[in-house]
A and B are shown apart, each in its own frame.
Chain A
């Protein structure tokens, strides 16, 4: 069964460093998302992406964040200068988003630890 793949599963970085979280969405999906979950808290929407551009972004998604689809398969989230409060689980999701096919499938997540 097709699945969303995220790498790495765990990323440790120093405060101020840049990190890139990678995702391979399900191949026929056209809509991509990043969510964040700080430990013990609810899952929060960061950004949605369609047709090579951002469709919607939350207040969390400030200038430190960017997303890119560098090729036909990968979807990346970059954090330019990490802060301690960026430590969280980051989930990538993808969807066909057609009528009746709007389920978002999630990857297993990348745990980001900022020291």
Chain B
């Protein structure tokens, strides 16, 4: 079945540091890939998406590129802010329509 593996963290960075959260997946066919973010006490918000190989999703300074050859969709940001502190989830949507999530990565950014 479909699966998503992401670094579980926690990840602690200083403001303005570079962020990478690794995500790899296993799926049949050509899944769509997503990154969601969850702030404390809230539901999930879609951060970015990519629907085919080599697509780059981007939003709010975050980027991720759909790499089919390495089955990866790593999240990056060049300069993190305290307000980026949250839990980040990598997810895929396969041919069966349901979303499969990774376990989430807690990011804490210190001033």
A pairs with B: no
Give me the interface of B with A, judged by CB distance under 8 Å: none
Give me the interface of A with B, judged by CB distance under 8 Å: none
